Structures are given as structure tokens and as C-alpha cells.
């Protein structure tokens, strides 16, 4: 027979991994029922993080950050409405990557046009968006991954570029710039 006090004591020890309410209260003190009603702490999603940033920017009066958070929120909502589904973190990361590319293209265009005021605004928004992206892989870190993909696809020349990219892109999605990946694949295939 299992002692209810020993089960409760074991469950209290498990609170290191879970954010739990007090087990001494409620109807499920005896047995494992309390464990199933424990609140499990999870990391917030990217959408939740952006919403928290929006609230913080509203409270602090930081208008530029508030505008960045609203732009990202609007882009996420637009994509969700267009696709008729909620976006998960991977899809939000892909959307943020697209937005970053747009900002970088705008920065180069504004620099060419001599619009330093707009360059500064776009760079600030790009900086905000980058905080959501995972650390980018360098060319040195990508080379072994590219060589492994070339070997796996048994690619011999440039005709096999698509085979290599099909294997490689899921591995480095969001972690590396697509242009850099393409360049390294072309170099490894002798193109």
C-alpha cells in the first residue's frame, strides 16, 4: 500500500522541474492526481514574446520598439489569416527571416539613395527582428554540413545542385543565409 504522505513528498521533490501549486490543498492530495494538475512551466512562444515586448514598450513609452512589435504582430496575423491557421514558432521564424531580408534590401536601397534617416530606422527594426532569430552559422561552420550533404546526395557536378539543396536546407533553415549556403554548395561542386 502506498502512503499518501510519501507520494506527496516525492511530488514536492519533483517541483524542481515543474512550477507546481501547493500539493497540500485540494481534493487530489493522496495519490498521483496532484501531479497531473500541476502547472508545467513552458517557454513562451515567439508570438507571446513579441506580445510581452509590446506591452513593455507601451508601459515604458518606447515608441520605436512599440512600432516594431506592432509591425511583427501585424505580419504574423496577416500570415495566419491568409493561411487560415495559427503559426507555430518555426513558421514565425521563417516569416521573421523574410522580414529581415526585406529590411536588409531596404537598407541597401536607402544607402544608395542617400537616405540615412531611413537607413537608421530600418537598421533599428532589423536589430529588433534579429533577437528572435537563432545564432547564424558562419561559413566555416557550414562547410562540413555542406560537404556531408554533397556526400549524402552523391552529387558530382552542378546538375546535382537541387539534390544537395533539398538535403541541406532543412538542416540549416533559419540558421544560415540561403545565399551563403548556395555559394558554398556551388564551390563544393566546382561551379
**Distance between CA 101 and CA 106 in Å, rounded?**
9
Which CATH number is associated with domain 139-188?
1.10.10.410
Which of 70-84, 120-134, 168-182 is predicted with the least confidence, judged by mean pLDDT? 168-182
* Contact present, 100 and 134 (Cβ < 8 Å): no
Query: How many CB atoms within 10 Å of residue 145?
Result: 18
Question: Which H helix or E strand runs over 168?
Answer: helix 161-172
What is the chain's alpha carbon radius of gyration, rounded to the nearest angstrom?
A: 24
Whole-number pLDDT of residue 136: 86
* Contact present, 99 and 129 (Cβ < 8 Å): yes
Alpha-carbon distances, residue 57 vs 45, 64, 90 (angstroms)? 18, 8, 25
Whole-number pLDDT of residue 190: 83
Q: Which fold has domain 46-130?
A: Hypothetical Protein Yqey; Chain: A; domain1 (1.10.1510)
- Per-domain boundaries in the chain: 4-36, 46-130, 139-188
Angle, to 10 degrees, between the axis of helix 89-112 and the axis of helix 63-83? 120
* Contact present, 30 and 7 (Cβ < 8 Å): yes
Whole-number pLDDT of residue 49: 95
Q: Please check the confidence at residue 11 and state whether its pLDDT lies above 90.
A: no
Whole-number pLDDT of residue 6: 60
The model's pLDDT over 111-145, given as tens digits with 9 standing for 90+, comes to: 999 999 999 999 999 999 999 998 888 889 999 99
| pLDDT tier at 17, thresholds 50, 70, 90 | very low
Residue 166 contacts by C-beta under 8 Å, 6 or more apart in sequence? 153
Sequential DSSP letters for 33-59: HHHHTSPPP-PPPHHHHHHHHHHHHHH
Amino acid at each position: 500500500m502506498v502512503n499518501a504522505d510519501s507520494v506527496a513528498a516525492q511530488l514536492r521533490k519533483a517541483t524542481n522541474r515543474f512550477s507546481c501549486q501547493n500539493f497540500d490543498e485540494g481534493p487530489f492530495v493522496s495519490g498521483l492526481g496532484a501531479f497531473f494538475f500541476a502547472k508545467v512551466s513552458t517557454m513562451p512562444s515567439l508570438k507571446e514574446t513579441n506580445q510581452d515586448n509590446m506591452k513593455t514598450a507601451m508601459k515604458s513609452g518606447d515608441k520605436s520598439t512599440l512600432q516594431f512589435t506592432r509591425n511583427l504582430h501585424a505580419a504574423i496575423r496577416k500570415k495566419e489569416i491568409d493561411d487560415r491557421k495559427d503559426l507555430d514558432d518555426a513558421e514565425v521564424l521563417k516569416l521573421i527571416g523574410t522580414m529581415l531580408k526585406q529590411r536588409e534590401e531596404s537598407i541597401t536601397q536607402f544607402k544608395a539613395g542617400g537616405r540615412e534617416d531611413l537607413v537608421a530606422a530600418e537598421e533599428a527594426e532589423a536589430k529588433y527582428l534579429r533577437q528572435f532569430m537563432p545564432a547564424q552559422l558562419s561559413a566555416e561552420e557550414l562547410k562540413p554540413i555542406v560537404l556531408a550533404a554533397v556526400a549524402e546526395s552523391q552529387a558530382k557536378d552542378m546538375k546535382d545542385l537541387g539534390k544537395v539543396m533539398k538535403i541541406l536546407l532543412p538542416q540549416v533553415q533559419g540558421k544560415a543565409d540561403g545565399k551563403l549556403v548556395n555559394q558554398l554548395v556551388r564551390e563544393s561542386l566546382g561551379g
